[in-house]
Amino acid sequence: MRHFVGIDENGMGPRLGPLIVTSVLAEASSDAGAKLVASRPSQAGRAIAKRIGDSKKLVGFDDSALGEAWARAIAARAGVTATTPAELIAAIGLDAEGTLRALCPSHHVDLCWAHDGEAFVADDKAVRTCAQDLERLEAKGVRIVRTRVAVLCTRRLNEGVARGLSRFDLDLHTMERLTLDARDAAGGEVHALCGKVGGFDFYPARFGPLSGRLHTTIVEGRARSEYQLPGVGRMAFVRDGDDTHLIIGLASLVGKWARDHFMRRVVRFHREGGAELPDASGYHDPVTARFIAASAIVRKNRRVEAACFEREALYTGPSSKRSTSSAPKPKKRPKEPTTEPLRPRPQEEA
């Protein structure tokens, strides 16, 4: 048996809401299964291809029922019984809710964590269809084992900025944590297939949890960067991975649901303050801009701390004052032997 883990992020560039990084662990029982995991969803069949892929192409904002159906089907297959979204998030979360809430100011912890009245939106038929797809994949040599969702709230992202870490660094470090978590669950080395992070081509100098480990560079370039790490396995970063790799696309869809769900909580919190507010995506769009302006009085009255509401960018102040379209420029790769201890991550922004 070989183990693969697909990892992708949702919410890299918004002004509001969390960055979500999601993993899906799979077990390949054959060479055909191992090939399928890293193939386009279409290789699994036309029907499955309609339900796995780049979440940005398959569903729009606040239309995340498909991702929810996948999350529920995968969790049920792993023996998890969840009757509400809050129970599902608690079951598949990488971190315990108490750990995530630790940074929340007590007077507005409900900004991200109030869940009264929440209900699933995917119907039972959609969940059954995804469960049947999981059975089809297993018949082809791919058993989906479980999913994990890591939540990086706005405050955690802003605290990272204060430490000199960009959102790209935090995304990468969370992918590393999810890889190590998958390795522990698998009981041995895994092949991690991750979406590319920002504009990075060369990753080891930016590692966090994996820094200090030996590595062998397999390939580094625009399309793919891949490394062998003894005791961990392989870790590949693939351009457009959610579109070209089935296991990454599945992670993207689950993460899309989680990101939208947390954003709905943010909107609901502000509406409870008495304001008539639109359903904001949190991204750089006119609706989100209107939401930010119209909710100002609510934030003042409910004493919402700025660090919990809107993201900041490294060295440049509030995210609304800069463009998020440009990724950090990769550093010129230093000359180094193929295998060596990893160097500490540079402190300055790439």
Q: What is the pLDDT of residue 340?
A: 39
272-287: average pLDDT: 92
Single pTM value for the model: 0.88
pLDDT band, residue 71 (cuts 50/70/90): very high
Q: What is the pLDDT of residue 326?
A: 37
pLDDT band, residue 61 (cuts 50/70/90): low
Give yes or no for residue 332 having a pLDDT over 90: no
pLDDT > 70 fraction of the chain, expressed in percent and rounded = 88
Residue with tokens 């004052």: 321
Least confident of 18-27, 155-164, 270-279: 270-279
pLDDT band, residue 314 (cuts 50/70/90): confident
Q: What is the pLDDT of residue 331?
A: 42
Which residues have C-beta within 8 Å of that of residue 188, sequence separation ≥ 6? 3, 233
Q: Are the beta carbons of 312 and 165 closer than 8 angstroms?
A: no
Q: What is the pLDDT of residue 51?
A: 92
Give yes or no for residue 333 having a pLDDT over 80: no
Give yes or no for residue 106 having a pLDDT over 50: yes
Cα–Cα dist 245/294, whole Å: 41
68-84: average pLDDT: 97
Which residues have C-beta within 8 Å of that of residue 311, sequence separation ≥ 6? 14, 15, 16, 154, 157, 158, 167, 318, 319
Element (H or E) spanning 31, and its range?
helix 31-37
The larger pLDDT score, comparing residue 64 to residue 329, is at 64
Please, what is the angle between helix 65-77 and helix 85-92, to 10°? 60
Give yes or no for residue 338 having a pLDDT over 60: no
Mean pLDDT (the chain) is 90
> How far apart, in Å, do the first and last CA atoms of the chain sit?
39
pLDDT in tens, 168-189: 999 999 999 999 999 999 999 9
